[in-house]
Copies of this chain bind each other. A is one copy, B any other.
């Protein structure tokens, strides 16, 4: 069998499984989810042995410590994975919801009902826990999943998917509801992207290169999770105490995630005070500041020149070394690190225009006590989530109260921002008549 035949066979099997799944009750699906969690724990030896194999190969290939750490499973992590699966059983099932119903003047009753999408392709990179996270959310919403993970975690993924699939079968659900492509060949991605007869949509989870490849080749809808180039704008009417805590949280609490900020825009009227408070706190937290001319001048005057002011002298020259001039690309870069681009603006409109031109329309925030300025910002900034006086770190399915998330969509169609269970569904119209014909 060629690779194409093999993957098409997966498509056919997933399609058949989806047909069964969409008729399952919430109770049947939840029983399947609990059985999946049980089977993960029961397969501990096999999964950890497979993972040891992946780790050995990764070490031989010289993967970094951070990568090895992401790849590694142990009994505690596997238990957490099984717990994560089990928790999804307790979430409300969006499938079957009647979104709207109405009756037409001719007596035709129309019902818009929430239903599963069908077959969802998930293409991801290294972390093996994506295998169970993605599969369980798809199963909860009555979708079959075809998974294609990265080569680093292939043995772990195969063992995890086999356990999940056994759980489905044990609970009377189709074993083909969760299929993992055991081939990490790049061609597998291209074949998946071409089979729109079997796959209703693809969700790529990983770096920009992976997403680009999928966008390039996919014939079916793709839900993209691109960069978060997020900005905070410090308005002239900002509370500077709040500014410091919001910016430190949004930059430093977890710099490697998409809802961390990469840019701060400071109104020129508060630049001096900003430098003395938030600027200082950022440097103390070891954040590299890439500054436009004006902010560099003010920050440098505060920190790099020894002066009589005791406040200024509390920062060491080590901190001062964190200051450098910004290049234009710094305002369009997702650093995912303790690096922050700073730019001075003279108006609210200039801040909005900067975000429009440079941001990735993910999460952006205005810090101000001026309600009019806030309304203007909230209306004009065309991002998935727009904040007033809160950390952008809340762009997250869990923090939104969705219970779980498959990711943060940077697309505008179908799903925008945090994607919960509801975004893994579609709808269909049911029309009930008694012989109506069109005149």
Which residues of A are at the interface with B, using a C-beta cutoff of 8 A?
A: 19, 22-23, 102, 104, 108, 110, 115, 117-118, 196, 200-201, 215-216, 219, 221-223, 239, 242, 245-246, 249-250, 253, 356, 374, 378-380, 382-391, 393-394, 399-401, 411-414, 416-417, 426-438
Contact = CB atoms under 8 A, between A and B. Distances in A.
B413 A417 contact: no
A412 B201 contact: yes
B394 A108 contact: yes
Nearest to A216: B219
A152 B412 CA distance: 33
Q: Count chain B CB atoms within 10 A of each CB in A19, A201, A387, A413 and give the residue with the most.
A: A413
A158 to B, nearest CB: 29
Given A108-B394, A356-B19, A383 B428 contact: yes
Tallying the copies of this chain within the complex gives 2
A108 B365 CA distance: 13
Contacts of A416: 426-429
A428 B417 contact: yes
Nearest to A369: B434
Contacts of A382: 19, 22, 115, 118, 428
A411 B400 CA distance: 28
A25 to B, nearest CB: 11
A380 B384 CA distance: 35
A432 B215 contact: no
Given A117-B412, A429-B417, A394 B249 contact: no
A390 B435 contact: yes
15 contacts: A19-B382, A23-B380, A108-B394, A223-B413, A239-B435, A249-B437, A253-B437, A378-B432, A386-B428, A387-B433, A388-B432, A390-B435, A412-B426, A413-B413, A416-B426
A42 B391 CA distance: 53
Contact of A414 (B389, B400, B413): B413
The 6 closest A-B CB pairs, nearest first, are A390-B433, A249-B437, A393-B438, A414-B414, A413-B414, A221-B413
Contacts of A378: 430, 432
A390 B427 contact: no
Given A388-B433, A432-B388, A426 B413 contact: yes
A436 B221 contact: no
Contact of A435 (B242, B400, B401): B242
Nearest to A96: B379
B108 A438 contact: no
Nearest to A388: B432
A256 to B, nearest CB: 14
A23 B431 contact: no
Contact of A249 (B393, B417, B438): B438
Contact of A245 (B196, B239, B391, B435): B435
A280 B391 CA distance: 71
